[in-house]
Chains A and B, each alone.
Chain A
């Protein structure tokens, strides 16, 4: 085991056992899966996507491109980065994208076929022939990991949080900014993706205010956490920065033990981005071999986890930071074979560090190859004197630092290329986003702390001398190695594969090829080569791609620019995105007082619009849906049915101008509606198309009760509210939503009156109680409003009752109706009954083109009224003339034909004057009353085509049908008026 006897922040008193690729290992509390694998000498962790090359761990953070694993324990979770998975007892993980194993992967044959798979090979190879043929094979090979098949056992939470300032990153600069801001009394939230505060100081020795830097940060963090105005979260990654300074962050393993992750929606007035920087790889042949790692990552594994990835190292660099690790490596017992530096000369500091560690340095040298396939055995390099070899089992390389400008860019900030640091750094700022420290390209700790203090003091436009916080002195730093880099690119035409995107296997040759093929925009190069499109989203590789493209095009990197940074910064689980909106909470399901009764009585439930669940039908034992619907419909036509109409929208309208309002909203008149009566109304949109319909009752001189369709209720309420608040502010009307205050139960059928007659009531049900009358009174002592309204075409009484008494009255009605065979009816049955009656449903026959005349509802349009919504558009329709689609009835020749809603209507063979699409079926059913299939449809010029033949053409079958009037049953409406 390559674990140091001392050091690190792991808890050696708490050993943890885990399984990787079927083999058991041991790690410690505080380990990540990556560090534990490293400590157990596991070199090959996964395979690359295209060539299936063996890959080891490259980095120590969320930028890891190689070590993707499938977490089998705690639910199947694919594509987690081993560097981000905290070790726990019993953890079980395995490699992805390999078969039969990561060590021996048969698909590695792809590596030998590499010449066939250059950049863009998809586009070149599969242009000819049928994509659906190729895609079967490609899809089999594609994808990483396995989607979980079981329900995710994890629990997640989404929360909203408001703060004055959000500080992203609890490294030294983030902490310094937080200290200053907290002192000023602002509400401050600090989030940090690491388990402990400290940022890069967790891995690098440096003094702040004469104490070790990490201790300075820890002490400041403890003080800040104790403050009431500070919210502090570790293990929390900011994944996106959206408009209005909203930052989304994922907290992993929150303190609340029942939660796996928590999604934070953070709305801040200002955001300080102190996310630091990530190390950039160098480009050289074999830079992807297991055992080739980023230098800073190796230092991190040693310092934090006491895990040592090799015994003998060659360091390869173009900048100063690798020299800061020499002592760390030596202290860990790693033999340093030498430093190969691309630069021509070193600074005094760098030379001093190398000399102190007694490490040979070869300047102006470059690695030309890595020996070993599954493990590093050595490197070949070239210096001024020729090609040489060094034996080693570990190669550490450092190509400089990339400021993490992702959040800044999400916010809309622009980046610019800084020659001195050879990196893209924040440029023109957007929203309230302020980058500091490494994230701002300020790689000096002292400068970063000064920058943090200045930004924090000026964040809210306060003068620094007015703020109590300005009294906080900028901390003094010691022991820094100043950052110095020479950007040196590999020579053109490298021999061997040198990777710029590790996960997607994009090489320098692929970039050159793309540019040769005239892809000049960096966005096009990205898509053609897939560089930066893997799980790591090019965090470490993209700057190298940009650099290579700039070299190929002979352009400045600034003019090449970056690709677009899009959220999320790091992959986010679907679980945490969904939060608790799953299972019973997947939709905000609405219920009526009768919902439980309906379910208990066997209703097949269905979504009925506006998130209501309603009975679809009530099957009895052994009944099919068709049988149940036929039984229910027959009961309504011959005896009595009852259905729950509670989901309908109900609004009270108060005020002296309500009649005028209704006159403007509906196509027909309401100003002559007497008290105690109701009237059916049709509501149009401004464009004259069907919007909604319903019955409105006049309760007293100035008070009305309006009902509307379930699905349209929200839109109708908003429509009226908007008109009253913005358009017709002179109208004295108040609108009150009482939809859920009332429950509505419809007793319908020829026996309906007899059912109600059985109940003790003060409401006379004699013939003076006419169709569209309503009466207030009691049924069995329960206050009700009875209305004569029918949606079924039968004698119907709509019983409206306060929600609190609804279930009681419902069961009373059921009991009273037993002797008449009262039958609960579902929405599928009421749909059949409405088709039989030819009642227009704006949700079916209204297709955003249909106007009332098309629907055969000209009888309800009073064009003599001064105005109503949609009148002007109707006048336009009338003046334009031309052929329009009309609602018609359809009687298939085959009386038992199965006709699907949406089937096309085509001209019959003998109809030579017409061709092409004629319309479509809007609703169809088998009518138990008429004992045949019937349908409603929209047909071109349909009102003049009654008696003609058309073809109903569905996906599965077609049949001839005769066009008819749309009312199939009781066309005079005698039954419902009876």
Chain B
């Protein structure tokens, strides 16, 4: 009696928000030994980090929670004296994993975006279920990660259950 999809809250992750112009990217890349995504709305993923390009001067670095302080320190030091902003936003967002053959059937209830246009490895931001959200496409059509402001987390958790076809 519900869509074939598994929804779970993401745990054990840290999110660091980066704002800066093109000239500081190399500093951050060197600090993490990761090549940042340059194309808009794309992500680069390796074992230690996911780096999401959210705008021309805006990235997210996602890493394990235990590395939060260390990664923050490295990124901050990398741009010391530069005009850039490194901010820990782990607690500002709550992530959800939405996996399964019917993942799009659930997501299209909240997003008015054309999800067909998002391939694996892309990310985007938009209105979702009357609150803002950032969507990372892990595997197009079947595996997505959704981040909403933490104050909406209980609402979105409940919303996703209903959208799956469950009752609350």
Contact = CB atoms under 8 A, between A and B. Distances in A.
B154 A591 contact: yes
A585 B159 contact: yes
B19 A258 contact: no
B72 interface: no
Interface string B116-151: 100000000000011100000000000000000111
B149 A740 contact: yes
B92 interface: yes
29 contacts: A157-B163, A159-B108, A159-B109, A160-B109, A160-B112, A580-B159, A581-B130, A583-B168, A584-B168, A585-B155, A585-B162, A588-B129, A588-B131, A589-B154, A590-B151, A591-B154, A591-B155, A654-B84, A654-B87, A734-B20, A736-B85, A739-B92, A739-B151, A740-B91, A741-B92, A741-B150, A802-B90, A803-B91, A803-B150
Contacts of B1: 257-258
Contact of A591 (B113, B114, B151): B151
A741 B88 contact: yes
B85 A738 contact: no
B68 to A, nearest CB: 10
A467 interface: no
A26 interface: no
Nearest to A160: B112
B91 to A, nearest CB: 4
B108 A161 contact: yes
A646 B150 CA distance: 12
A563 to B, nearest CB: 32
Centre residue among A585, A646, A739 by max chain B CB count within 10 A: A585
B90 to A, nearest CB: 7
B91 A804 contact: yes
B83 interface: yes
B89 A738 contact: yes
Nearest to A588: B130
Given A580-B162, A740-B92, A652 B85 contact: yes
Contact of A584 (B19, B84, B150, B158): B158
Contacts of A258: 1-2, 165
B151 to A, nearest CB: 4
A874 to B, nearest CB: 32
Nearest to A703: B85
A803 B88 CA distance: 12
Interface in A784-817: 802-804
A200 interface: no
Contacts of B149: 590, 739-740
A655 interface: yes
A160 B108 contact: yes
Contacts of A740: 91-93, 149-151
Contacts of A579: 109
Interface residues of A, number: 44
A584 B114 CA distance: 27
Contact of A590 (B83, B89, B108, B152): B152
Contacts of B130: 581, 588
A670 interface: no
A657 to B, nearest CB: 9
Contact of A741 (B20, B91, B116, B129): B91
B92 A738 contact: yes
B78 to A, nearest CB: 15
Contacts of B19: 654, 734, 736
Interface string B83-103: 111011111110000000000
A256 B106 CA distance: 13
Contacts of A804: 90-91
Centre residue among B2, B112, B113 by max chain A CB count within 10 A: B112
Nearest to A647: B151
Contacts of A654: 19, 84-85, 87
A646 B91 CA distance: 13
B92 A157 contact: no
Contacts of A259: 165
B155 A656 contact: no
Given A160-B113, A258-B2, 16 more contacts: A157-B163, A158-B109, A160-B112, A584-B155, A585-B162, A588-B130, A588-B131, A590-B152, A591-B154, A591-B155, A612-B151, A736-B17, A736-B87, A741-B90, A741-B150, A803-B92
Contacts of A585: 155, 158-159, 162
Interface of B: 1-3, 17, 19-20, 83-85, 87-93, 105, 108-109, 111-116, 129-131, 149-155, 158-159, 162-163, 165, 168
Centre residue among B109, B114, B116 by max chain A CB count within 10 A: B109
B91 A157 contact: no
Nearest to B58: A734
Interface string A578-601: 011101110011111001000000
Q: 3 tightest CB-CB pairs across the interface, nearest first?
A: A654-B85, A741-B92, A803-B91
Contacts of B115: 162
Interface in A95-118: none
Contact of B91 (A159, A652, A655, A742): A742
A191 to B, nearest CB: 16
Contacts of A160: 108-109, 111-113
B92 A590 contact: no
B114 A741 contact: no
Contacts of A580: 109, 159, 162-163
A430 B39 CA distance: 36
Contact of B85 (A187, A267, A655, A802): A655
A482 interface: no
A802 B112 CA distance: 32
A520 to B, nearest CB: 44
A21 interface: no
Nearest to A738: B92
Contacts of A738: 87, 89, 92
A584 B113 CA distance: 25
Contacts of B150: 740-741, 803
A784 to B, nearest CB: 13
A256 B165 contact: yes
Contacts of B85: 652, 654-655, 734, 736
Contacts of A732: 83
Contacts of A802: 90-91
A729 to B, nearest CB: 12
A714 to B, nearest CB: 10
Contact of B83 (A157, A655, A736): A655
A775 interface: no
A588 B165 contact: no
A732 B20 CA distance: 10
Contacts of B153: 591
A584 B115 CA distance: 27
A184 interface: no
A958 interface: no
A639 B50 CA distance: 49
Contacts of A741: 88-92, 150
Contacts of B163: 157, 580
A265 interface: yes
Interface in A251-301: 256-259, 265, 267
Interface in A221-274: 256-259, 265, 267
B155 A589 contact: yes
A162 B116 contact: yes
A737 B152 CA distance: 15
Interface string A691-730: 0000000000000000000000000000000000000000
Nearest to A583: B168
Contacts of B84: 654, 734
B152 A588 contact: yes
Contacts of B91: 740-742, 802-804
A620 B85 CA distance: 47
